[in-house]
Amino acid sequence: MGRETHLWLIRHAPVDGARGVIHAPDAPADLSDATAFTALEARLPADAFVVCSPALRTSETAAKLGLTATADDAFREQDFGDWTGRRHSEIEAELGAVAYRAFWNAPGTNRPPGGESFADQIARARAGLARLPAGDVVLVVHSGTIRAILAIALELAPELALRFVIDPLSLTRIDRLAGGWRVVAVNGR
């Protein structure tokens, strides 16, 4: 792998929309927390290579941080297929409580209709990580993407990586070293 890569993983700002919805990629970000943006911007390295997912909320967050990001599909959020844009309560009512809970009992490997599993997202993120350069790299992405990268770094099963809490506008720091990975901080605020 050559030199070290220092990953600065930022979860996008909160979605500017209804709660309890599986938001589509075109959902905008709520960029109103100036204090959080200022604090986060002060912690980021200068002259880093910057990547975001193709979702609107990640590119808006990057721009608000003064970053010029390149979109990379490898770092998009998990694809929830037919469930995208819908409320969790609607999906549960449609499927029935037992079937809905059955999906979430194994969320690492189950796929929503027309979507992908979290394990699929981990594989996609792994391919994206392999393309990143050495040095400082800022990724403005989603909570699922950060959990996927943590799963890779810590060699965790998908279900275990889903236990991490990743808040909006939080910073997770991971280093890719010649001999493996080093987790510096998770969900820093």
The average pLDDT across 160-169 equals 97
Which residues, 6+ apart, have CB-to-CB distance to 5 below 8 Å? Answer: 132, 133, 134, 135, 137, 175, 176
CATH of domain 5-79+116-188: 3.40.50.1240
**Residue-wise pLDDT tens digits, 48-60:** 999 999 999 999 9
The single-letter code of the amino acid at 128 is: G
The reported pLDDT for the residue numbered 37 is 98
* Cα(118)–Cα(109) distance, integer angstroms: 6
The pTM assigned to this predicted structure is 0.95
Q: Could you tell me what percent of the chain has a pLDDT over 70?
A: 99
Q: What's the full length of the chain, in residues?
A: 189
Positive or negative torsion for Cα 40, 41, 44, 49: positive
User: In this structure, are residues 35 and 189 in contact, taking their beta carbons and an 8 Å threshold?
Assistant: no
Biggest distance spanned by C-alpha atoms of the chain: 51
Domain range list for the chain: 5-79+116-188
